[in-house]
Chains A and B, each alone.
Chain A
Amino acid sequence: MDQDQQLVRLIADGDRDAFSALYQRHHRSVFAFALHMSGDRQAAEDVMQETFTGLMQSAKTYDAERAPVLAFLLGIARNQVLRRLRYEHRHLTLVDAAIDSLPGSESTAQITIRNEIVETVRKSVLSLPTHYREVVVLCELQEMSYEEAARILACPVGTVRSRLNRARKMLLEKLRLIRGEDAPEAPPNSERCYA
């Protein structure tokens, strides 16, 4: 039994310190998953909160044989995200949730093009159908293995692989639209953030 599993066992017995310790270990991964999937910071915070609240209620049912604790948590987070997407009927949008301009030594034009590319990919990921988006988020943005993603999504590894392959092709099609285009002019204010 690893440390996470020991913590979940303690949480099931009502140990608040164990809950706090597990939260500190994994809340960023849960938050990042929800943010990637929703593109909305407030929604991601809500999902993170609901996920850990859900953990308190379901710790007794956790089966270490089936999945590592992080996969269990991301499975809860996934259900919360999907519920929200269904409820709010929004597949993508959230175009205000843009990536910050990162500091660098490039020229303004380079920064603009770089941000344009990253933004295009980010929005393209958000525009993917949910079952494609989640494999991109898990395997590409959160760098999980196919096996880990398969546990979280409760599907065969081959399904993860084929969905990721299809999702990459869809994203490549969108990226090809960028090629050959002139660099866009710098916006008056390129400071953008998740808000």
Chain B
Amino acid sequence: MRRSEFEYHLQLVTDPEDDSSPNATGGAGDARLPEEQLLSWAFGEIGTHVGQIAPSLETGQRV
């Protein structure tokens, strides 16, 4: 897991009013809403993980 990336998103979620958050300071350079960034991050996590799941060998042999 990319720890710093996750911590950044986590901060956006858990401290939405924190003025020192990366979003507030513009440190991330991303003008999207925190939820939108979080959604994109989650899409990446899900897509990556499911992409690593292989169907069973039995199914492959049946095909």
Which A residues are within 8 Å of any B CB, using their own CB? 23, 27-28, 31-32, 35-36, 41, 44-45, 48-49, 52-53, 99-100, 102-106, 110, 113-114, 117-118, 120-122, 125, 136, 140-143, 168, 171-172, 175-176, 178-180, 183, 194
Contact = CB atoms under 8 A, between A and B. Distances in A.
Query: Per DSSP, are chain A's interface residues mostly helix, strand or loop, or mixed?
Result: helix
Nearest to B54: A28
A45 B59 contact: yes
A136 B13 CA distance: 22
Mostly helix, strand, loop or mixed at chain B's interface?
helix
A31 B49 contact: no
Contacts of B7: 106, 110
Query: Interface range on chain B: under 10, 10 to 19, 20 to 34, or 35 or more?
Result: 20 to 34
Given A114-B10, A117-B13, A45 B55 contact: yes
20 contacts: A27-B60, A31-B55, A32-B50, A35-B50, A44-B55, A45-B59, A48-B59, A52-B63, A99-B45, A104-B3, A106-B7, A121-B39, A141-B43, A171-B39, A172-B35, A176-B35, A178-B13, A179-B16, A180-B14, A194-B53
Contacts of A194: 53
B51 interface: yes
Contacts of B60: 23, 27
B47 interface: yes
Contacts of A176: 35
Interface in B11-51: 13-14, 16, 33-36, 38-40, 42-43, 45-47, 49-51
Contacts of B53: 31-32, 35, 41, 194
A90 to B, nearest CB: 19
A57 B13 CA distance: 50
Given A117-B13, A141-B46, A175-B39, A23 B1 contact: no
B47 to A, nearest CB: 4
**Which 7 A-B pairs give the minimum distances between C-beta atoms?**
A104-B1, A121-B42, A141-B47, A140-B43, A45-B59, A31-B55, A175-B35
